[in-house]
Amino acid sequence: MERAKARRRRLALGTLIGVAAAAFAFGATLGDTPPPQPETASTLPLPQLAGERIVTGLSGTAVPAGLERAIGEGRVAGVILFDDNIPSRAAGRRLIARLQSIRRPPRLRDPLLIMVDQEGGLVKRVDGAPSASAAQMGARGAAFSREQGRRTAANLRALGVNVDLAPVLDVARPGGTIAATGRAFGSSAQQVAATAIPFAQGLQGGGVAATAKHFPGLGAAAESTDFAVQRIDLSKQALRAVDQAPYRAFAAAGGGLVMLSTAIYPALSPDPAAFSRPIAIGELRRRLGFEGVSITDALDTVAVRAFGGPAQAGVAAARAGSDLLLFTALAPAERAWRALVAKLRAAALDRAEFAAAAQRVLDLRRELTRRQTS
């Protein structure tokens, strides 16, 4: 009897193997190969691995050949758009559709990150929502801010934008340019958190990633870092208790991105925040628990010129722990990309840490795809 049972088991197993082999052969005959699986950063070739860390800008409403090649080869993860890229809604929509239509490497299928600064008030790249400045939203409360976030998401998604470089989480301080220009939600950490976070939640609920800026806080800056080097001479205690407090709430609420300032905070580091590991890793990730994507403020501006050109700036920011490196034009972005590839090949950048940062970017792109198709 035991021999009979064993024989039946062998026959059954043989039948299963035969069916499986036949099915495989049938599929192979038809050319029915499984679809490519989503790429992981650890398996990307070095040029594409470095590309997942790069965001670039462009001029006008036409995609230059160099940018088309960079996107097609997987050397760019995102594109930031400014006023001259969106002279009208129709022009902006055509440009974004063209960018997303560029054929990318087969396993990097998710859409590019398309970014704008849509804060409201004086900083607004696209007509329509938000209809209020950050200061006005802060004054009118959480429900109003959340609705403005929802409307802004709908406005941006209609164009194809999937990342808003907003809200500003800087706490307005007397004499600071953030307060003077109405870009802050309030003059206390509590007010900023209570009204800016709902705006971010409205954005993300509508399928657009929110970006809190400018960590660890730019409320005391007398001038924009786009135009001048800024030193924020606040104590570590003040920075942590006041300026960083809204970012803790943003991290806890599942905020998508945090922009690292290019100002200098002597109490925390001698380097600009975007180049500072104690800030990018120590303060933002370890102390506040942020798990999303970090992005630098523009690395081709006056604020960082003294710290080297695009190549040096890109490597310094990546080594410090900044995930996405933001450039406003393609030429500096490409110089930074080449420098990253060279440093990776020379083992002068930690490959595992570099890949972990790139994976966060890949995960963000996939999550945005999921939200936009759900």
Residues 328-363: tens digit of each pLDDT = 999 999 999 999 999 999 999 999 999 999 999 999
Q: For the beta carbon of residue 25, count every other beta carbon within 10 angstroms.
A: 10
* DSSP secondary structure, 140-175, as one string: H-HHHHHHHHHHHHHHHHHHT--EE---B-PPP-TT
pLDDT tens-digit map of 270-324: 999 999 999 999 999 999 999 999 999 999 998 898 889 999 999 999 999 999 9
* Burial class (CB within 10 angstroms; exposed 0-12, middle 13-18, buried 19+) of 37: exposed
Grade residue 10 by pLDDT with cuts at 50, 70 and 90. very low
Q: Which residue has the tokens 């030193």?
A: 231
Tokens of 302: 């006056």
**pLDDT, average across residues 141-149:** 98
Could you confirm whether domain 46-373 is CATH 3.20.20.300?
yes
| Per-residue pLDDT band at 109 (split at 50, 70, 90) | confident
- Mean confidence (pLDDT) of the chain: 91
Phi and psi angles of residue 272, each rounded to the nearest 5 degrees, phi first: -55, 150
- Alpha carbons 77 and 365: distance in angstroms, whole number: 9
Break the chain into its structural domains and give their ranges: 1-35, 46-373
Strands 118-120 and 113-116: unpaired
The model carries a pTM of 0.90
Q: How confident is the model over 151-179, as a mean pLDDT?
A: 98
The pLDDT > 70 percentage for the chain reads 89
In this predicted structure, the answer to whether residue 220 has a pLDDT above a threshold of 80 is yes
Lowest average pLDDT, out of 9-18, 85-94, 201-210, 333-342, goes to 9-18
DSSP state of 231: B
Long-range contacts of 224-228 (CB under 8 A, 24+ apart): 224/177, 225/261, 225/262, 225/263, 225/297, 225/301, 225/302, 225/303, 226/298, 226/301, 226/302, 226/303, 227/301, 227/302, 228/302, 228/303
164 contacts 118 by C-beta, under 8 angstroms: yes
